[in-house]
A = this chain, B = another copy of it.
């Protein structure tokens, strides 16, 4: 169950509104690396967990609610950047005053569809999709998805930080980057708190997997190559359950033959 307060989670100010930067910020709202993804991802992961994983469920829900507040912060920042610069619009309406910075760039829907406010889309203007959410029902797989999400999220925020010199935007991003630091670390810590889950899922018995290729680096080079003697072709594997080896070629199976479909499917061009 959720509650809300009118205040933002953290201060958001914009000194020099920059519509172009406002549009870039959309990536952090509705993008593959954005806050809508993590907020929803953490919720759906949490809701799948049975009672014995209740501490993890709590951890996920605590963070999901925080991420909702990040969407709100970013939406505020987008709108302040987009609208702050339009004060003089009417005086000169005939000269397309929004100019290159708003109409001429990506995502003109910001102007046409939302009246210069934030939208559930990415910086290309592509709508958010539930297809970004990873919630597999397996906590360890999900935690790796979360480490990845916080890594690409922090990367995005770092890049955005370089693209502004507005003090308010820098402060907001400095806050969000710090939170990504924490979240990356908490998901890694949560992985450590599990019994050894590797290879994921560890409940699948390894004696049922093909044991001649489960720790073999398989080369697909056209001309067979010698073992390059790299960390992933020799030595003990990170899961501690095998020894890497080099395999210079793919095993090679049958040449596939598939049946023709029944005549009622009308698939034969020569009939």
Contacts and interface: CB of A to CB of B under 8 A. Distances in A.
A3 to B, nearest CB: 4
Contact of A5 (B69, B76, B221, B230): B221
A79 B258 contact: yes
Contacts of A262: 83, 86-87, 89-90
B80 A259 contact: yes
Interface string A142-161: 00110110011011101111
Given A4-B1, A4-B65, A178 B129 contact: no
Interface in A202-220: 202-204, 206, 208-220
Nearest to A24: B108
Contacts of A185: 198-199, 215, 232, 237-239, 242, 244
Interface size class for chain A? Answer: 35 or more
A144 B136 contact: no
Contact of A204 (B20, B177, B190): B177
B221 A4 contact: yes
A189 B33 contact: no
A112 B151 contact: no
Q: Which of A8, A121, A181 has the largest number of chain B CB atoms within 10 A?
A: A181
B119 A130 contact: yes
A229 to B, nearest CB: 11
Contact of A174 (B30, B69, B210, B219): B210
A117 B253 contact: no
Contacts of A27: 108-109, 112-113
B12 A1 contact: no
A219 B169 CA distance: 24
Contacts of A184: 198-200, 239
Contacts of A51: 257
Nearest to A222: B3
A214 B144 CA distance: 20
Contacts of A220: 2-4, 61-63, 65-66, 69
Given A3-B65, A40-B120, A182-B214, 4 more contacts: A1-B72, A6-B61, A12-B254, A63-B220
